[in-house]
Structure 1
Amino acid sequence: MTLRTDSVIFDCPQNVHDPPGHILKMSAKRYRRHSADGTGLTLLFAHCVGAHKEQWEPTIARIFERCAPSTVSEAWAVDWQNHGDSAVLNRELLSTSPSRVYGVSAIEWGEAVAAFIRSPHLRGKRIVPIGHSAGAGTLVLTMKDLPVCQLVYPALILVEPTIIFKEDFYREIEERASTMDFVVTATLNRRERWKSREEAYSWMAKRVPWDVWDPRVLHMPTEHNLESTPDGGVITKADRRQEALCYVDTLPHFAAAEELRRISSHVPVHFIWGKESVGTLVPENVKEAFETGIAASVRTVEGGHLIVQEKPDAVADAICDILDTIVLPRSKL
């Protein structure tokens, strides 16, 4: 299915630590059928660390194939302020502002997405947030500080969320720290330049984690996350250091866990896990706590933590099964 797309550049809320007038921007993309009556749900997608909004496109395409226009009218995907197209828009501020030495927290991304939801682009629509890994916690945090009477999402879908309670994180601190050290080191040493997009694709296709990705998703980084260099080559849009900083920022994961405790009795929270991801980034006891005390439903699909990249159709089918259960009045955002 061919979808209509259009892109938006959104001015994020001013961060108090940035110089006056220095405002980060967030790139967003909308997906729609060529004919739709606008009565269905609006889906809002947030990616994981190291990804970008277009990696959701195979999943989004499958959802539109399966779901009727009365169920889904449109979808939006957003780039973290230091990822994808947003990283290009914000490059100067990210590299020159002293306040950006610590990057962009997922908490700040959540504030930007919340402002975007209140903007004319999404105001008044029935929004279902769908987040993967750190993007899941980000979307949970869009509800931070809202009274329960204003929690208007008809559902919240979390795909392999890395949300964790603070006490659980520190209970196994050595294992958690070891995992973060490994990921940060791998990120800082990862290749970021190639002679061409074709060379980049061939290089990724032979290496972890890209070698098990769905071919449609594997094309997305080379099509959407590389930019040309003066010498005729290509380089990744996002700065490796900015990405690495996102991995060590644990506060958003703690804050999202506490927020889930607060809102789960008011907003149905649905979890989608990868079968092969057991205990890798989220301890099994934490998953069980979410499933028994918070979840409205739990679904499992084949694949590891990066199931959006590995099994986009299976993730889409799980999302569609959840969406088929939603019938609620229009929100008042």
Structure 2
Amino acid sequence: MPRLIPTETKVIKVHPGTLGYQIQQLVVEKHCFKAPQQPAQQKLALLFSHSNGFNKETLHPLIRRLVAGIREQVRYQHTDLCVYAWDARTHGDSARLNEGTFSETYNWFDHALDTQQVIRSLDLHTGYDGVFGIGHSFGATAMLLLEYMFPQTFTGICAIEPVLSSDILDTELRAQLPILASLKRRDTWPDRESCYKSLVHRDFWKIFDPEVMQLYVDYGLYETPDGTVKLKTPKEEEYHVFNVSSYATLTAYNSIRALRTPVQFVFASSSVYVTIDPLELPNFNREFANVNMVEGTHMVPNENPQLMVPEILALMDRALSVKKRIDSKL
């Protein structure tokens, strides 16, 4: 199926507390879905944040399935939904706007603050009865960091395969990590069909949902002046994000103890990106942290978007119940 056509597209500045704030921008798309039964009795915002190296359109199959899953639930028949999906400043359409302005200072804390900037710029806290973060990998870690720095930013978070670490490896050891091979990846092809054919049979890509794969090729590339197609997300920036991850992933790991909003952690059984024991995370925070294991690799939302739907629904139900209990005491 094609990409979701946004209700509205906005270009906003990156967070004013970060370097680059004078010139760098973010592309944010809004998708609104009216409640099946009107008038609506509540309005919820769902904010999606992609993984490193990917783009907002690759989340569309998950968004489409999630909205359909929510619509099947009697309890959400009177609920308006607005979904927000955006490209990190060095990724996708944001990267195209920011070409020539990338900085080596950019890090995962900046991405967390950019997440806050999206929420503030679109006034999500005053316009909705709940704000849910749904992040994958880089995006999930940034949401945990944001919630740690600014508690109660989210009504709830579904953190899919967040990158977490319990220590900081020596620099020489980090340089040997397989994820840093992204600097060597191919980033230019004669056309989109050539790109698709070069990727689709490789081990990493061949298990992707066909819709996700097609959306990556259709919207993760741009046409260059010489007639070729190239990744919107520069491979140098994908590498950079991996290379500056260590402080943030350790902070996010230890921040779990301080969380005061429900978080549903989702980890994949065949992931090679997880260096901690996911099943230990609830011991850090019995009240707010839940963990579930699913079949798949680190890229599980790209492989099987439908598998994420019950996880997000469970998070929404739990978080809204907590919010109702808190609100009743005020």
TM-score by length of 2: 0.85
State the distance in 2 between where 1:14 and 1:75 align. Answer: 24
Matches within 5 A, 1:250-265: 250-263=246-259
Change (3 A) 1:91 1:217: same
Across the aligned residues of Structure 1 and Structure 2, the Cα RMSD in angstroms comes to 2.6
Match of 1:317 in 2: 310
Match of 2:24 in 1: 24
Change (3 A) 1:205 1:56: same
Matched position secondary structure for 2:47: strand
Change (3 A) 1:93 1:178: closer
How far 1:22 moved relative to its partner? 3.0
Match of 1:274 in 2: 268
Matches within 5 A, 1:6-25: 6-14=8-16, 17-18=19-20, 22-25=22-25
Identity of paired residues, percent? 24
Matched position secondary structure for 2:270: helix
How far 1:30 moved relative to its partner? 1.5
1:3–1:33 contact (8 Å) kept in structure 2: no
* Residues 262-302 of structure 1: CA deviation (Å, up to 9, x unaligned): 12xx211111111212xx222243x2331322353222222
* 2:101 paired with 1:108: no
State the distance in 2 between where 1:4 and 1:32 align. Answer: 10
Match of 2:58 in 1: 55
How far 1:31 moved relative to its partner? 1.8
One-letter amino acid of the structure 2 residue matched with residue 11 of structure 1 = K
In structure 2, stretches of 5+ residues that fail to align are 72-76
In structure 1, stretches of 5+ residues that fail to align are 95-99
State the distance in 2 between where 1:4 and 1:198 align. Answer: 23
After the TM superposition, which parts of structure 1 deviate over 4 Å for at least 4 consecutive aligned residues?
1-4, 15-18, 173-176
**Aligned to 2:143, which of 136, 139, 145?**
139
How far 1:244 moved relative to its partner? 0.2
Matches within 5 A, 1:210-225: 210-225=205-220
State the distance in 2 between where 1:38 and 1:184 align. Answer: 48
Match of 2:174 in 1: 177
State the distance in 2 between where 1:223 and 1:43 align. Answer: 24
Matches within 5 A, 1:1-333: 5=6, 6-14=8-16, 17-18=19-20, 22-33=22-33, 37=40, 39-68=42-71, 69-70=77-78, 73-94=81-102, 100=103, 102=104, 104-124=106-126, 125=128, 126-146=130-150, 148=151, 151-166=152-167, 169-170=168-169, 177=174, 180=177, 182-185=178-181, 187-249=182-244, 250-263=246-259, 266-277=260-271, 280-285=272-277, 287-294=278-285, 296-327=289-320, 328=323
State the distance in 1 between where 2:18 and 2:43 align. Answer: 37
One-letter amino acid of the structure 2 residue matched with residue 26 of structure 1 = L
* Residues 193-249 of structure 1: CA deviation (Å, up to 9, x unaligned): 111111111111012311110101001111111001122221111211111011111
Report how many residues are paired. 309
* Residues 66-116 of structure 1: CA deviation (Å, up to 9, x unaligned): 10354561211121110111110111212xxxxx1x252111011111122
1:38–1:73 contact (8 Å) kept in structure 2: no
How far 1:319 moved relative to its partner? 1.4
One-letter amino acid of the structure 2 residue matched with residue 46 of structure 1 = S
State the distance in 2 between where 1:215 and 1:103 align. Answer: 36
State the distance in 2 between where 1:179 and 1:216 align. Answer: 33
How far 1:13 moved relative to its partner? 2.4
